[in-house]
Structure 1
Amino acid sequence: MATEQVQVIVFAETNLDTRIAFNTPLDITVSAFKRDFERVHFTCLPDIGEIQVNGLMVKRKSCFYYLSDSLPLKYAFPGTRRTWFLHVEVRHLNDPSPSPQVVEKRLGVPYVMFLMD
């Protein structure tokens, strides 16, 4: 009888204002999660193009904390084996110059373009 791998659901929001929910193995490292997230993001949102994940963060007591690549992601969520919430810092792979960066944010009904230096 094969052992079933335990999965958790991850809700991730990026600095591009994209949001994705998907399942991932409980024992995944931050480094492996970054690669998986890049693939899933492109599969779900191909119009945005390919991205590179620069960092994963968790929020604790109103502060965001970066997670190191070698960390098993489950250690950032002690006692929580059902749902994880992450902020993901990404950049477009096809963007030759990251600055100034145009970021599209949804504010209310219309889309507003912000030019960020």
Structure 2
Amino acid sequence: MTLPEPTEIRLKRAERVLDISFADGSHFILPAEYLRVESPSAEVQGHSPEQRQLVGGKSGVGITSLEPNGHYAIRITFDDGHSTGIFSWDYLHRLGREQEFRWAAYLKAIEAAGLSR
């Protein structure tokens, strides 16, 4: 199975989105808030599913920079200072494919926890 590889990555700061196209023809527009709350960092994901942290209060977060990490990923620095997640091409592709489901689950979880976006 071939891993997804991006053909174009555009940071649109004003719109606070990452616009990414892949060699398989898929194209995703991933909001900074979505990327921040789904960060693959240990700070958010923990070291097991039980340790996963629900992150609220990020509706206005933006992306300040993207940094290549080898030939397989990027490090995203957010304007709230978070920069520890390494977003692999596979993970970004999965976030795009699962965006509707993941976002709905996130909204439900923050509402249940009494948090705001």
Q: TM-score, normalised by structure 2?
A: 0.31
| Structure that is richer in helix per residue | 2
| Structure that is richer in strand per residue | 1
